[in-house]
Amino acid sequence: MSILTILEFPDDRLRKKAVAVKTVDDKIKKLIKDMLETMYQAKGVGLAATQVNVHQRIIVIDLSEEKNAPLCLVNPELIEKDGIKESEEGCLSVPGFYERVKRGEHIRVKALDKEGVPFALEAHDLLAVCIQHEMDHLEGKLFVDYLSSLKRQRIKTKLEKIHRMEKSGA
Residues designated as active site: 134
74 part of the interface to ligand GNR, by CB under 6 A? no
24 burial via Cβ count (<10 Å: 0-12, 13-18, 19+):
buried
- Per the CB < 8 A criterion, the answer to whether 101 and 138 are in contact is no
91 part of the interface to Ni ion, by CB under 5 A? yes
Q: Which is nearer to Ni ion, 14 or 111 (CB)?
A: 14
Choosing from 7, 24, 36, 45, the residue that interacts with ligand GNR (CB under 6 A) is 45
Task: State yes or no: cis peptide before 118, omega within 30 of 0.
Answer: no
Give the helix ranges, DSSP H, for the chain.
26-41, 125-138, 149-168
3-state secondary structure string across 2-51: CCCCCCCCCCHHHHCCCECCCCCCHHHHHHHHHHHHHHHHCCCCEEEHHH
47 part of the interface to ligand GNR, by CB under 6 A? yes
Q: Considering the complex, what minimum distance in angstroms separates the CB of residue 140 from ligand GNR?
A: 13
Long-range pairs of 160-166 with CB within 8 A, sequence gap ≥ 24: 160/10, 163/8
Q: Considering the complex, what minimum distance in angstroms separates the CB of residue 168 from ligand GNR?
A: 26
With CB under 6 A as the contact rule, which of the stretches 17-25, 109-117, 129-137, 149-157 interacts with ligand GNR? 129-137
58 part of the interface to Ni ion, by CB under 5 A? no
Q: Which is nearer to ligand GNR, 58 or 112 (CB)?
A: 58
Please report, as residue ranges, which positions from 136 to 155 form the binding site for ligand GNR (by CB under 6 A): 137
Which residues contact Ni ion by CB under 5 A? 91
Binding site for ligand GNR (CB under 6 A): 44-48, 51, 89-93, 129-130, 133-134, 137
